[in-house]
Amino acid sequence: MYTNSIDITCNFAENYFMDINKITVIGGIGKDKSPEKVEKFELCMGNIISIVGPTGCGKTTLINDIELFANKNTPSMRTILINDEPVAEDFTFDPSKHPIALISQHTNFLSDLPVGEFLKIHSTIRGSENVSAMIDETLDFANQLTGEAIIKETAMTQLSGGQTRSLLIADAVIIGNSPIILLDEIENAGIHRTKALELLKNYQKIFVFVTHDPRIALLSDFRIIMKNGAMQKMITTSDEEKMAAIGLKQLDDIMLDFRKMIRAGEEITNDIFDKHINYLVTNYQYSLKK
């Protein structure tokens, strides 16, 4: 059986939702009704965790259990605790108190408000002292994740998939200030995932990624392996895996360069391809020597 063996001192995150020290996920049962091999794991403020496994293995079900603060009342029979205690129902069903933001690849805006107006309303509702600065910070965050800049005057329903996900993430982190953010396969939404991880690490929140992306998985503090609806294993990211993540980042950067060139109508010649691959090999070898 697996339990969380990571030695982390959890610090409280004070916000208008609740004081959160940690989340505890207590295992339940898989699709075959067998007990989960991971009996329990804990998430502290500042942790980044990935949930990985093949399609249909139960990854999204796990984050749904977290969002719902499951208390043996879902098919998985899992229990979610905050600060070692069950969560009161008013925190589960009252949006103004719910401390979790869930962003999926299918999340879309229904309002046709201009982006700036939407952010202004949300910021005002949240009681921001400087609404204008909050809007600018949110847009700056979002525009570092998307290829095409988001402007205040654009209607939210006119945003692309990548722009929508970028704005949702930025809004949840900056204006919503949600202490716990669940991100379901955002790599499929066309955002700059490497930059997203770099930015998110600057915030003392809990981030849970459902992902098929090896770079996201290897940059997480640890990952949960899912199979047949059950948590099978927990792996703490090793130093070797962190080095592999550096190589994957460099490879990802090259893929982004090629994407930009193709979008701009440029051609990928043999010389250009060889130059990028040689740069990748040289850079990775240099990283290994550091």
Q: What CA–CA distance (Å, rounded) separates 187 from 184?
A: 9
* % of the chain beyond a pLDDT of 90: 52
52-83 tens-digit pLDDT: 999 999 999 999 999 999 999 999 999 999 99
Domains, the chain, ranges and CATH? 1-99+179-196+203-237 (3.40.50.300), 108-177 (no CATH), 239-290 (no CATH)
pTM over 0.85: no
Residue 13 has pLDDT above 50, yes or no: no
Pinpoint the alpha helices (H) of 111-160: 115-125, 131-143
Question: 7 falls in which pLDDT band (50, 70, 90)?
Answer: very low
85-128 tens-digit pLDDT: 998 776 666 666 778 888 877 766 667 899 999 999 999 988 88
- Residue 68 has which token pair? 């719902």
Residue 11 has pLDDT above 70, yes or no: no
75-88 tens-digit pLDDT: 999 999 999 999 87
Tell how strand 85-86 and strand 79-82 pair up.
Answer: antiparallel
- Residue 286 has which token pair? 């240099």
Whole-number pLDDT of residue 15: 43
132-169 tens-digit pLDDT: 999 999 999 999 998 789 999 999 889 988 898 899 99
Task: List all residues 6 or more positions away from 253 whose beta carbon is below 8 Å from its beta carbon.
Answer: 194
C-alpha to C-alpha distances, 161 to 18, 78, 164, 166, 197, nearest whole angstrom: 32, 32, 5, 9, 19
